[in-house]
Amino acid sequence: MTSISLTSRMVPTLGQGTWGMGEDRRGRDREVRSLQLGLDLGLTLIDTAEMYGEGGAEEVVGAAISGRRDECFLVSKVYPQNAGRRGAPEACERSLRRLGVDRIDLYLLHWRGGVPLAETVEVMERLRDQGKIGAWGVSNLDTDDMVELTGVPHGSNCATNQVLYNLTRRGVEWDLLPWCRDHAMPVMAYSPIEQGRMPAKSALKSIAGKLGATVFQVALAWVLHQDGVIAIPKATDPEHVKANRAAADLVLDAEDLAALDQAFPPPKGPKPLEML
Q: Between the CA of residue 77 and those of 47, 138, 154, 193, 215, what are the distances in Å?
A: 9, 8, 19, 21, 30
| pTM confidence score | 0.96
Other Cβ atoms closer than 10 A to 124 = 27
How many other CB atoms are there within 10 angstroms of residue 271's CB atom? 16
**How many Cβ atoms sit within 10 Å of the Cβ of residue 27?**
15
pLDDT at 201: 86
Three-state secondary structure of 64-114: HCCCCHHHCEEEEEECHHHCCCCHHHHHHHHHHHHHCCCCECEEEECCCCC
What is the predicted pLDDT for the residue at 15? 98
d(CA 228, CA 74): 19
- pLDDT recorded at residue 198: 83
What one-letter code names the amino acid at 128? R
Report the CATH architecture of 10-198+227-249: Alpha-Beta Barrel (3.20)
pLDDT of res. 200: 78
For the chain, the domains span 10-198+227-249
The predicted structure's pLDDT at residue 164: 98
- How confident is the model over 178-224, as pLDDT tens digits? 999 999 999 999 999 998 888 878 999 999 999 999 999 999 999 99
| Low-confidence stretches of the chain (pLDDT beneath 50) | none
